[in-house]
């Protein structure tokens, strides 16, 4: 998992936008503690999102929520505009504002995560993305205000284009996720600790039994699997950004033995920690 701390560590605000050509994150299925928009500028590729496979082409727009595993693979000159943001950047949780993220959670869209926009809607999306990127890169006085305004306008446009397709569970999904946020953020900030169900359920103001059930239903995985993904993501960062020995990385990520660390790492990455570091080094040098 990529936490907000990972995603926005080089930004003053919980927002990023950049050009991408596929395979940028890690080369494996991953997910983010934020919302993501992919807009295909040209070329072709494959977008794997939550078990679905999409053939990407120019003008496609993909909406990915905070617990959908995904991976974009380039084929023929794929070029995308990729945007990440934390919904808290633009709203105050007033009930009417949930409409702004409804499209990210709806299960009734005819083409899943992919939106088919009209020619006019495509022109508007392109214009807004270009304005967002300009404000994000130039950081002129008041750029935060412009980013909030333009992002809100973009999300309102997506709502208008899709509102008659929404099902009633879309907002409930996001509200369910919000109830888990205190526990999720604690896990993300403290993966090296002993993360007990007692501690996490108290943070979510739930009983242990209800917390486990609620977590599995909302996140489509159990608590231990989520903790393992967060720990392995931290390990990947340490392996690729520091010279720490693998043993030190193991203990820094909350594992109590090198064997359990290797087992967990190989399970999620199909590589040992050492192989992962060597592959990253080779890719960087090539």
As assigned by CATH, the class of the 4-165 domain is mainly beta
CATH topology of domain 171-285: Arc Repressor Mutant, subunit A (1.10.10)
Are 182 and 203 a contacting pair, CB within 8 Å? yes
DSSP label at 2? B
DSSP label at 268? H
Q: How far apart are CA 128 and CA 61, in angstroms?
A: 13
Q: How far apart are CA 173 and CA 215, in angstroms?
A: 12
Are 274 and 246 a contacting pair, CB within 8 Å? yes
Least Cα distance to 151 among 230, 96, 84 occurs for: 84
Confirm whether 4-165 and 171-285 share one CATH topology: no
Torsion, Cα 97 162 20 3, to 10 degrees, reads: 40
User: Strand pairing partners for 12?
Assistant: none
Whole-model pTM?
0.65
**Torsion sign (Cα): 263, 266, 271, 274:** negative
The helix-helix angle for 143-162 and 119-138 (nearest 10°) equals 160
| Structural domain spans, the chain | 4-165, 171-285
What DSSP element (H or E) covers 137?
Answer: helix 119-138
The per-residue pLDDT string of the chain (286 residues; one tens digit each, 9 = 90 and over) reads 555 556 666 678 899 999 987 554 444 567 777 899 999 999 988 888 877 889 999 999 999 988 787 888 777 888 999 999 988 888 765 666 777 888 887 766 778 899 888 999 999 999 999 999 999 999 999 999 999 999 999 999 998 888 776 555 555 666 777 788 889 889 988 999 999 999 999 999 999 999 999 999 888 889 999 999 889 988 988 998 889 999 999 999 999 999 999 999 999 888 899 998 988 787 666 5
């Amino acid at each position: 998992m990529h936490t907000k701390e990972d995603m926005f560590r080089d930004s003053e605000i919980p927002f990023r936008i950049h050009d991408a050509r596929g395979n940028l994150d890690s080369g494996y299925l991953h997910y983010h503690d934020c919302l993501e928009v992919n807009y295909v500028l040209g070329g072709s590729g494959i977008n794997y999102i939550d078990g679905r496979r999409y053939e990407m082409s120019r003008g496609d727009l993909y909406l990915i929520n905070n617990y959908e595993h995904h991976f974009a693979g380039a084929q023929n000159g794929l070029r995308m505009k990729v945007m990440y943001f934390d919904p808290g950047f633009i709203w105050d949780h007033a009930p009417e504002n949930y409409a702004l993220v409804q499209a990210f959670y709806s299960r009734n869209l005819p083409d899943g995560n992919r939106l088919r926009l009209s020619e006019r809607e495509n022109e508007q999306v392109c214009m807004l993305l270009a304005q967002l990127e300009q404000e994000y890169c130039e950081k002129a006085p008041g750029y935060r205000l412009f980013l909030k305004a333009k992002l809100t306008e973009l999300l309102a446009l997506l709502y208008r284009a899709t509102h008659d397709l929404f099902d009633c569970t879309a907002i409930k999904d996001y509200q369910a996720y919000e109830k888990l946020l205190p526990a999720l953020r604690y896990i993300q900030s403290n993966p090296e600790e002993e993360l007990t169900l007692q501690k996490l359920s108290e943070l979510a103001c739930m009983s242990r039994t209800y917390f486990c059930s609620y977590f599995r239903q909302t996140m489509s995985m159990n608590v231990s699997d989520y903790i393992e993904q967060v720990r392995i993501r931290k390990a990947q960062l340490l392996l690729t950004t520091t010279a720490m020995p693998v043993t030190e990385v193991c203990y820094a990520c909350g594992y109590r033995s090198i064997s359990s660390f290797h087992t967990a790492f190989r399970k999620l990455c199909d590589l040992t920690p050492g192989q992962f570091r060597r592959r990253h080094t080779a890719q960087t040098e090539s």
